[in-house]
């Protein structure tokens, strides 16, 4: 006789409730509820450190059919605070799969929920904005509704949180350059993905992935030809130490490339402000205009904060780094998606050019970075 599925409840801080089925580990989890629009790539999504502190809802209704494998993780573990899917696959059908998504969620202690109207929740978040939420399953599903809401409302908000220390490596690691070596690259790990490291190594960089608490003297000690800031979770306004470190990098004249969180930190280092988006950009189908080429790219995003900068023309860096321009613009809502300094060798984008999983339209940015570093080395001779 088949047993009835266990109940789970998703509770949002505004009191909205959705009753569904327990999925993954049992218990209670809290975090900011956000949605990701990717139709595929759920393994890369949940192992992206940028999702730390967030309960991720997949807008694609059918999740888990290709299982989990040992080749596609983007980091050493699952980072999502919780997981929401509508219709989890009952079977695994892929020759590379070594286990199921459900089994991996249980193994990593990730509390999830399935069998609820994910479209309704997505529409609600698009209207009301991302908000704190909680998933309650097992014995916690029976908690009084008012008690569940109280627990959710006591959870920390994403604004003001610095999560870099939770996701960064503790000790430096090195990935060997592929082909002709350009030089040593210092990568500040704020939540870096493996595909990013692989792409940088493929461009001839000896990639030194450094802990987020590294000092400028420790960066100088590896004799880098350039510095790279990775993606990562949290509020850029709570990362002043990383901004100060980046200003030291820029003052040293080292070429710089930042993605996602790194774009926001470059903006703040240049003297610009950042702000929280209503519901953020998450997924692998976001249209972005590269203003230098006029080309529209479909790109992979995962960010809830953005840089505040004028979209047209150039402007002076308030912190004295010369002229700057917005290089890329999101076409859904005109959000700044890239910055380029015109008087120093520094640029950044708000999305993930490694696109794991996702489109490869923006992969050329790694080549652009390599060309910038090579040109900078020639100019310094």
Q: Are 255 and 345 in contact (CB under 8 A)?
A: yes
Considering the candidates 124, 281, 328, 352, report the single residue annotated as catalytic.
352
Compute the 3-state secondary structure of the chain and give helix, strand, coil in percent, each to the nearest 5: 25, 35, 40
Check if 352 is active-site. yes
Considering the candidates 260, 303, 325, 328, report the single residue annotated as catalytic.
260
Q: Give Cβ neighbours of residue 193 (< 8 Å, ≥ 6 apart).
A: 44, 48, 49, 74, 75, 230, 231, 352, 354, 356
Token digits of residue 218: 């420790």
The 8 Å CB, 24+ separation contacts for 319-326 are: 319/247, 319/269, 319/270, 319/271, 320/271, 321/250, 321/269, 321/270, 321/271, 321/346, 324/270, 325/291, 326/291
Token digits of residue 165: 């220390």
- Cis omega before residue 357 (within 30°)? yes
Considering the candidates 32, 206, 325, 354, report the single residue annotated as catalytic.
354
Cα–Cα distance measured from residue 212 to residue 228, given in angstroms and rounded to the nearest whole number: 12
Helix axes 240-251, 261-270, angle to 10 degrees: 70
Token digits of residue 30: 């809290």
Cα–Cα distance measured from residue 164 to residue 246, given in angstroms and rounded to the nearest whole number: 15
Check if 260 is active-site. yes
Check if 325 is active-site. no
Per-residue pLDDT of the chain (381 residues; tens, 9 = 90+): 445 679 999 999 999 999 999 999 999 999 999 999 888 889 989 999 999 999 999 999 999 999 999 988 888 899 999 999 999 999 999 999 999 999 999 999 999 999 999 999 999 999 998 999 999 999 999 999 999 999 999 999 998 899 999 999 999 999 999 999 999 999 999 999 999 999 999 999 999 999 999 999 999 999 999 999 999 999 999 999 999 999 999 999 999 999 999 999 999 999 999 999 998 899 888 999 999 999 999 998 889 999 999 999 999 999 999 999 999 999 999 999 999 999 999 999 999 898 666 778 889 999 999 999 999 987 776
């Amino acid at each position: 006789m088949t047993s009835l599925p266990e109940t789970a409840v998703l509770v949002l801080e505004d009191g909205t409730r959705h009753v569904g089925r327990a999925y993954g580990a049992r218990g209670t989890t809290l975090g900011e509820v956000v949605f990701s629009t990717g139709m595929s790539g759920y393994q890369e999504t949940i192992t992206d450190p940028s999702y730390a502190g967030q309960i991720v809802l997949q807008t694609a209704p059918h999740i888990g059919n290709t299982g989990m494998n040992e080749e596609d993780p983007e980091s050493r573990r699952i980072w999502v605070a919780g997981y929401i899917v509508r219709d989890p696959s009952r079977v695994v059908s892929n020759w590379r799969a070594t286990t199921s998504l459900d089994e991996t969620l249980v193994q990593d202690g990730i509390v999830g929920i399935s069998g609820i109207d994910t479209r309704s929740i997505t529409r609600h978040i698009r209207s009301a904005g991302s908000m704190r939420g909680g998933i309650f399953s097992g014995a916690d599903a029976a908690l009084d509704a008012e008690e569940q809401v109280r627990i959710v409302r006591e959870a920390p908000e994403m604004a003001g949180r610095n999560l870099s220390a939770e996701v960064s490596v503790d000790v430096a690691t090195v990935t060997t350059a592929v082909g002709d070596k350009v030089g040593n690259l210092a990568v500040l790990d704020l939540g870096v993905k493996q595909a990013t490291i692989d792409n940088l190594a493929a461009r001839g960089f000896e990639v030194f992935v450094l802990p987020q608490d590294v000092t400028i003297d420790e960066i100088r000690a590896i004799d880098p030809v350039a510095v790279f800031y990775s993606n990562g979770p949290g509020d850029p306004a709570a990362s002043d130490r990383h901004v100060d470190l980046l200003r030291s990098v820029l003052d040293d004249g080292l070429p710089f490339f930042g993605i996602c969180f790194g774009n926001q930190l470059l903006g703040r280092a240049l003297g610009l402000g950042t702000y929280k988006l209503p519901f953020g950009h998450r997924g692998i189908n976001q249209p972005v205009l590269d203003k230098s080429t006029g080309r529209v790219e479909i790109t992979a995003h995962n960010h809830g904060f953005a840089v505040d900068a004028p979209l047209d023309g150039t402007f002076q860096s308030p912190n004295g780094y010369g002229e700057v321009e917005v290089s890329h613009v999101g076409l859904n809502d005109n959000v700044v998606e890239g910055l380029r300094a015109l008087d120093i060798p520094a640029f950044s984008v708000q999305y993930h050019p490694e696109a794991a999983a996702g489109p490869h339209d923006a992969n050329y940015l790694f080549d652009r970075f390599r060309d910038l570093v090579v040109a900078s080395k020639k100019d310094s001779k």
